[in-house]
Amino acid sequence: MALDGEGYITISLVKEKRRKSGLSFQPKFVISNTNKELIQKLREIIGEGRIDIKRPPLKAKWGKKTPKKTKYDLQLYSNAIREIIPQIKGWLICKREHAELMEEFLKYTKRGGFSFFLDPYTKRKIEIFERIRELNGKHKLPEYKRQWLESLMER
């Protein structure tokens, strides 16, 4: 049995005005499904997370099929991810490397929030961020974010 399915494990790079670097990493684990009750039950079992609702668009974007059903995303952040990954990692096939990288990333991050730059682990966190983007098929980073990362690597 495997748990791979709808959803993703990622790290976002977000603007953070309160930080000297102007950026933070935001770890995220998302479980998606069209069954609202399933997502609500998972949130109840886990005890935290935010449910986002994604309704199908009224018309398709050029060259794409229109989804027919509403999708529900259970979004989990750092503290919940720390608890869940060790419990499910053995059941993952396609997303196991994502989970292992996220687990390592969170070792370098304080509990309770965003991961800040300019610490001894900055270079490794950037490498993990880039590898997870690659695994998720997102290769091109916007130029302004690329420049920020490069400037941090030089420090």
Q: What is the pTM of this model?
A: 0.81
Average pLDDT over residues 100-123: 76
CATH architecture, range 7-154: Roll (3.10)
pLDDT at residue 99, as a whole number: 96
Question: How does pLDDT run across 99-108, given as a tens digit for each residue?
Answer: 999 999 999 8
DSSP string, 6-51: SEEEEEEEEE-TTSSSSEEEEEEEEEEES-HHHHHHHHHHH---EE
